[in-house]
Amino acid sequence: MQDIPFCSLIVFFFLIGASLVSPLYDGPLYDSTAYTECKEKPEEPLYGGGLFKTEQHSRRGSIANNSYVPSLVLYNLTQGTIYSFSAWVRVKDSSSAMIRTTLETEKETHDCIGTVSAKHRCWSFLKGGFVLNWPSNLSIIFFQNADGKDINIDVASPSLQPFTKQQWRINQQYIINTQRKRAVTIHVSDSNGRRLEGASICVEQISKDFPFGSAIAKTILGNVPYQNWFVKRFNAAVFENELKWYATEPDQGKVNYTISDQMLQFVRTNNIIARGHNIFWEDPKYTPPWVLNLTGTQLQSAVNSRIHSLMSQYKDEFVHWDVSNEMLHFDFYEERLGPNATLHFFQTAHKSDPLATLFMNDFNVVETCSDVKSTVDAYISRVRELQRNGIFMDGIGLEGHFTIPNPPLIRAILDKLATLGLPIWLTEVDISKTLDRDAQANYSEEVLREGFSHPSVNGIMLWTALHPNGCYQMCLTDNNFKNLPAGDAVDKLLQEWQTGRVEGVSDVHGSYSFYGFLGEYRISVKYGNNTTKSTFSLSRGDETRHFTITI
């Protein structure tokens, strides 16, 4: 992505204040609007339709087996441009259908640029996007039934808004500056309350509010260089495999938490928060072999024992629990214990550890929209099912195992998930090892910027636990703790997303102002021969944070 001079961004964001309107930026402003309810009438198109309000497109459709399949024809699309796409969709001859949009150009096909679960008598909102690898004189967006069956589809209020990479970055940076940072004014006075001009002020961020971390494995135990490398960077962790049922109870009745206890001690010692991953995994491939042979009351008893044992051992230790991992793709327990098995897991886990946030966690939600099991609407439907049954302490876990990320699709899916008002975490971010290390670094940065710049994302976890033979897909460092390209990309972002050391002098009003990333700060003020030190917190808020220090 094209770099923007930092000084230009600073001038831009200080001038705009709380508004996006500025003579310094005349490009499009990203519209995060999304809808998950089905409406009687479609809303007006985003961006006034974008390219669809010009003569750069036309509409057409085709008839197949008496079904009407609409399409949108576009001309002169450019390489590397980020296109945000949306439309309202309904189906005519079925109660509901998963509608997928596909983009075809002269040189490439994007098999999914957005999906929506469309209904018969109301309109549903589809939001997605794409980035072309080659310029295109003629492109066609098709609306099709995801299962391949013929169906009549209506489309209304289509919108296609182009962003240059620089425009996209400026929109991201605005959100970071308004959602991840806050204005601070330091007031310096003497013991009589008189404001002091000319006091030297030094402010340093000592911890970050935003959780950013990585998976760790038992390989970190006793490995001081690895521990030092990790603690220097991250304030959050998740155990890669060591809490999973097959790891803690490989043989029935022989529960062993020795390794996970030791890993938790490392986490505690270094003031790192940790996610609990996971209580159950719906994929039978990762279910303990002895459990596979259980049925009925025996399986229910084993399940209850697992929850009670794990949650008793680690009550109040983990900020989250992934309760039933990958439940959109697999249903081992529901097949054997009935459709309410997952609900039982959530209810029991909540009773066992009522302050932990209980997460759904699944793959191919933000990575692609081609997987019909884990489309954004499928995820939303399952969350609402849990809510209808009284499960409200839940969070949205998005694994994020990417090959080539699609930034506007990621943002569109996050927009739709944000309508639920639940905490969203990217829980297992990595880039496929089928790509070279430089590509992994570049794509990692794209994904991390999308996550950090979305106001509804509350935390990011990388899936980069280090083993002697490498990592699951992507490593940040080699075995000698020399950064690989992805590690350099992460370090660059960590440096960019912290305030660091700020120095200044109080003005005639005894004040000094700056913008700081949310977190904890240490402050030192020197006036004449006197020095005073203190600390303060910077939490999210729209108003300037005022802090007075007496010297």
Instruction: Read off the DSSP letter of residue 80.
Output: T
Answer positive or negative: Cα dihedral of 335, 340, 346, 352.
negative
332-368 as b/e, with b when 16 or more CB fall inside 10 Å? bbbebbeeebbbbbbbbbbebbeebbbbbbbbbbbbb
How distant, in Å, are the alpha carbons of 364, 469, 488 from that of 409?
12, 33, 26
Helix (H, G, I), strand (E, B) or coil at 182: strand
Evaluated on CA atoms 64, 66, 69, 75, the torsion sign reads positive
428 catalytic residue (yes or no): yes
Instruction: Select from 514, 521, 542 the least CA-distant residue to 10.
Output: 514
C-alpha–C-alpha distance, residues 419 and 366, integer Å:
15
Catalytic residue, candidates 240, 249, 326, 450: 326
Burial 422-452 (b: 16+ CB within 10 A, else e): bbbbbbbbbbeeebebebbbbbbbbbbbbbb
The gap from C-alpha 151 to its chain's centroid, in whole angstroms, comes to: 34
Give me Rg for the CA atoms of the chain: 26
Element (H, E) at 110: strand 109-119
* CA 153, chain centre distance (Å): 32
Cα separation, 102 vs 107, whole angstroms: 14
User: Nearest Cα to 151, choosing from 210, 65, 212, 225?
Assistant: 65
Q: How, if at all, do strands 236-239 and 212-216 pair?
A: parallel
Helix/strand/coil percent split, the chain, to 5: 30, 35, 35
In angstroms, the CA 491 to CA 314 distance is 31
Whole-number Å distance between alpha carbons of 20 and 161: 18
Residue 302, H or E segment: helix 296-313
For 223-318, strand residue ranges (E) read: 236-239, 273-281
Contact criterion met (CB below 8 Å) for 510 and 546 = no
C-alpha pair distances (Å), 353 with each of 272, 310, 411, 534: 19, 10, 32, 36
φ, ψ for residue 397, nearest 5 deg: -105, 120
Q: Could you say which of 428, 445, 446, 450 is catalytic?
A: 428
Residue 80 to residue 168: CA distance in whole angstroms: 11
Distance between start and end Cα atoms, the chain = 47
Active site residues: 326, 428
